[in-house]
Amino acid sequence: MFARLKNKQNQMGMLSGSIWDKLVLFSVPLALTNVLQQLFNTADVAVLGHYLGNEAMGAVGSLTAVISLFVALFGGLALGCNVVIAKYFGAQEPLRIVRASQTAACMALVLGLVCLVCCYPVADHILILLSVPEDLLPLSKVYFEYYLLGLPAVAIYNFAAAMLRSQGDTTSPFISLAVASLLNIVLNLFFTLHLHWGVAGVAMATSLANGVSALILILMLMRRQVFGLSLIPRKLDRGECAEMLRIGLPAAIQGMVFCFSNVLVQSAINSLGPIAIAGSAAAFTIEINMYCLMSAFAQAATTFVSQNYGARNLARCLRVTRVTLALTLPLNLVMSLAIILAAPSLLGFFSQDPKVLDTAMVRIYLIVLPNVVTIFIDVLSGALRGYGCSLQPAVATLVAICGIRVVWVFTVFKIWPDFTVLVASYPLSWLVTALFITFVYLRFRRVVLLHGHHVHPVRSH
């Protein structure tokens, strides 16, 4: 069995050879997967904007931040699963891979159901907290309730994808999501144009497509004996669950802090009216694709560091981080320029209203140009999580991102309630957070190098 495991593990070759080419091979399908995840929302916004008008588009756009909150929660906790299982691959412990995988499957199902049961009855209150305009509230409620029904599928997909990535497989999650994305677009058009279900049809299409993507990955995992999964989830191991939560929960908090601050900012945007909401939503669907690509390299760094840390190859762990930064910094600059040049044309797919387009371009300039700073946040945080050091970057993000944006909204924006003033809080908070994360990483590196401390090593049985 171990010979088969070793052969599978070495498909990506994370433990030896050159790094940069393997990072690219790992990251490109992952980046495309991240883009496709955003395409669900992009397809919804585009269809609604073209066929149902600014109100329907704004109703969905006003929910972007809170939907991202769920994705951050599931993605962060799934990252704990990714780190733990990747370490076991590096440490060559097949029995622990099976136990951790079965635990992750149980966690995904429970997490999705708990979120659904807790959020569905209070959907109205969540929308009120978001300050969704009264004229958009009925449409926003319809979309949100249908989206909540698909939360278990979203959780299962994220955990299943994390398991596959821990082995070095980023292609399978991409294939499953590509199928689901195509299905989502087809169903969007069918439900909207032929059945005339409006916002309800678009939301229903998204939930059905999420379910399909989760089912495809479950079937893929069941065919790989190395994970030891079956259609019925098995017993949850408390030790493995605790280790995944120790790493994943701070990562989830870090991602949710970004999203929570975005929810607060989105609430402020909602207070500026339908034009600001629609313009911000259109710009977000473009700019987020750059973040998807950059975050793929950060996630790759986490998996590469995890496997090599499990194999006790500390020098290679540090080299992975350096190579990831060297690849992503120039790539980010090139993408920023491309988005700035293409944005005027791309925004036309979402709206033809000149005021909406002008508002969207303001956000594009203020978000895309300084986005290079986020490279240090994502890559260094990802590397730290690969070592199992997840709490420190989460705390740094909580203090800087959440603190600055909350203060900004309730002070500066309150004095100058302007869209440009509001969006300026993003680059400022990024800069401060990048400085904090860089300090944390450099201090951690000095401790590891000079004192040879191991952070939560993989236990042997």
- Residues shown for the chain: 461
Q: How far apart are CA 108 and CA 87, in angstroms?
A: 20
278 contact partners, CB below 8 Å, separation of at least 6: 49, 54, 57, 58, 61, 350, 351, 353, 356, 359
> Tens-digit pLDDT profile for the chain (461 aa)?
434 444 444 456 788 888 988 999 999 898 888 877 766 666 777 777 666 767 777 777 777 767 878 888 898 899 999 999 999 988 888 888 989 999 999 999 999 999 999 999 988 888 887 777 777 788 888 888 888 999 999 999 999 999 999 988 989 999 998 898 889 888 888 887 777 787 888 888 888 999 999 999 999 998 888 888 876 666 778 889 999 999 888 888 877 777 777 778 878 888 888 888 888 888 887 887 788 888 889 989 999 999 998 888 888 999 999 999 999 999 999 988 998 888 888 888 777 788 888 888 889 998 988 889 999 999 999 899 888 888 888 888 778 888 888 899 999 998 998 899 998 988 998 999 899 999 989 988 887 655 655 544 444 44
Place of tokens 């992503």: 328
DSSP for 307-368 reads: HHHHTT-HHHHHHHHHHHHHHHHHHHHHHHHHHHHHHHHHGGGT---HHHHHHHHHHHHHHH
- The alpha carbon torsion through 121, 122, 126, 127 (nearest 10 deg) reads 70
Q: How far apart are CA 302 and CA 289, in angstroms?
A: 20
| pTM beyond 0.85 | no
Parse the chain into domains and list their residue ranges.
Answer: 18-451
- Among residues 383, 366, 232, 224, which one has the least CA distance to residue 299? 383
- Among residues 49, 71, 50, which one has the least CA distance to residue 61? 49
Tell me phi and psi for residue 344, to 5 degrees. -55, -35
